Amino acid sequence: MMAQPLQVTNSSTMASSASRGTVAATLLLLLVLSAPVEAQDAADLAKQTQNPVADLMTVPFEHNSNFGVGPRDRVQDILNMQPVIPFRLTDEWNLMSRTIVPLIDQPELAPGGGATFGLGDMQQSFFLSPAKPGAVIWGAGAVLQFSTATDDVLGQGTWGAGPTVAALTMQGPWVIGALINNVWSFAGDGDRQAVNQMLLQPFVNDNVPGGWYVNAVPKITADWEAHGSDRWTVPIGGGVGTILRIGTLPLDVQVGAYDNVVRPDHGPEWQLRAPVQFLFPR
């Protein structure tokens, strides 16, 4: 798709540029203020952050810039706040709570439509997981989607629910696994399209010495209500990350890029991802 030339810089373009500039400045400030973590501690923490059902409280902020969105090839920015809180139910079982709160800077997709900024639809997942996992670490439960969007273009206008499962294994420096869920709508605006969508998130992490790692964590999605080329989004790419410490607080800093080799007609062409996780080990 050939991008249309932009004659005027609109408010969405300036907001998106400011948002990405803020993320870059924040990452640089974290690197300047941070101190290295002892190598073995960093490696252990890195593996825990790569386990979606680890007994570790984290507060991730994941910034995503989606490029080439819509017929006018604009940039969409999404900041996902994703607190993860573990609960010890018994000596045998943990319950993991994972929340996603998206703030979306939506560009103008059609002339006269205007740009929009606000809250998207929130998701809440719960995983029941063994407190003493074996060679295969797993968790299973439910995902809920809430119609919390502050504007129609930022959400789907429906309430949804479905199952979710995560499984992984740790072999030497490798952490390999996948997370999958599917959400069906059950209530909401009757004029909006029904929701039946899947998220499949495989992950491969190679932890190298010094607390660094390289990874591939594509977010593959399927909209089962769509047809033909509009159904799938399949990204390919990867990133790099490390464990740092600010004072006594450890944090996980990453950056990655993903090319959507399969995408809907007006879906984003590629994504720049920059997550920062604040870690609160027991």
Q: Answer whether 243's CB lies under 8 Å from 224's CB.
A: no
Q: Answer whether 185's CB lies under 8 Å from 167's CB.
A: no
The domain in which residue 173 lies consists of 11-280
User: How far apart, in whole angstroms, are the C-alpha atoms of residue 134 and residue 132?
Assistant: 7
The residue-averaged pLDDT of 114-120 equals 93
pLDDT the model gives residue 95? 98
Here the CATH number for the domain that contains residue 231 is 2.40.160.40
1 within some domain:
no
User: What's the N-to-C CA distance of the chain in angstroms?
Assistant: 50
Q: How many domains does the chain have?
A: 1
31 within some domain:
yes
**pTM summary value:** 0.86
Closest CA to 75 of 268, 224, 228, 205: 268
pLDDT the model gives residue 9? 38
Chain-centroid distance, C-alpha 59: 12
pLDDT the model gives residue 11? 46
pLDDT the model gives residue 71? 87
